[in-house]
Structure 1
Amino acid sequence: MNLKKMVGIQAASYVKDGMTVGLGTGSTAYYMIEELGRRVKEENLSIVGVPTSFASREQAQELGIPVKTIDEVQKVDVTIDGADEIDKNFNGIKGGGAALLFEKVVATYSDHTIWIVDESKMVQTLGKFPLPVEVVPYGEEQLFRLFKEKGYNPTFRMATETEKKVTDCGHSIIDLHLETIENPEALATELDQLVGVVEHGLFLNIVETVIVGRTTGAETIEAIR
């Protein structure tokens, strides 16, 4: 059973005619976009997609889903996206697909946010998955040195053995290998205040609904705030 496909299709059922929909990025969101494309074609579903990456935009356009940027819409009715980890407080780490900046912008202007994951992404405490920090290239080595001094075990995200990964905005990503994040709020505040950090992968108090793919079926959990 493909758990990612199962939750992707399930999440697409939240999308109704006339909605503006944030289209997430990654292997799970891929199936959600595929399902929306099917509904547009077979059910004449009328929606506008707001992609969170160039890859999602290209996929949506190929499927015939009309797309706009976040600046071309008033707001987003619902955003459906994947996550790399979700803890017991419904905070998450995102950015494994290097789209964290666009993902956080779109989620910020969404009335409702849904995360779709397989059961392996549900954890007690965040941090086993490396925390992405998107940084401007100018001064990135200084930030890397700072993270190293703090014991955050940083590594640059690489596209090849010799070339750094570049985001859709032209930035670099430093992954912090923390193992456990005891206080996500404090770490988010610390990273927000560092000059040269554009965004980080801590998504706190953002999600309302989580759809978890389990071998027994899809489980929908409403976040408690």
Structure 2
Amino acid sequence: MPMLHALARLIFPIAFSFLLIKFAFRLGQKKQRDRIFGGANLEMVKAKDALFSFKDIAGIDQVKEEITEIVQFLRDPARFLSLGARSPAGMLLVGPPGTGKTLLAKAVAGEAGVPFFSIAGTEFMEMFVGVGASRVRDIFKQARANAPCILFIDEFDGIGQARSYGGGGGDENVHTINQLLTEMDGFEDNTGIVVMAATNRPSSLDQALTRPGRFDRIVHMPLPNVDVRRLAPRGWDA
């Protein structure tokens, strides 16, 4: 009996430690799966919480004039559609870092009084094929539930890089862009959703993304001049 007690005292801590390690390993695997296969990390700013509008942006009056109709549409989509107007599809903001692309997208939402959804293009790319496409479906589902709204994709070249059909890691890029094109082409109702994207590498984007009905409106963001830099608008970012 003493030997059995001694053996039990020896085996029990080892078995308990083994089970604890196994549990921690499985918990880590679950968190990893949730991170990879979970929904898109989409940030939302409600209309009432908007911090920016056109008055917060200086030096790009011509750009603001170009997108005024987008603001007007978002304020009252039903009126424009009743007149036979087509819902705007996508707008691509092009310019080097520091020209206010993100700030402009936020200001459009603030000026129109609609929710602002944002996500980085790099959020879509994972090692497992199909994850990026799933996240594209997820962000459009959330946007449709909150339309009218702005859906903003920063670092767009992270998701929209020209497709490669050579197999391997390029397959995920192909599936993700194909799903984005499907969503943009409007097989489901995208009324009231204006998709804006920002990039400083437009030449790297897949050509299919800039065809009519997709990101067919390209807005070039100029570098701020000396007078604008002196104003230093609050929240100025890329």
TM-score (norm 1): 0.29
The answer to which structure has the higher strand fraction is 1
The answer to which structure has the higher helix fraction is 2
TM-score (norm 2): 0.28
Give the structure with higher Rg (CA).
2
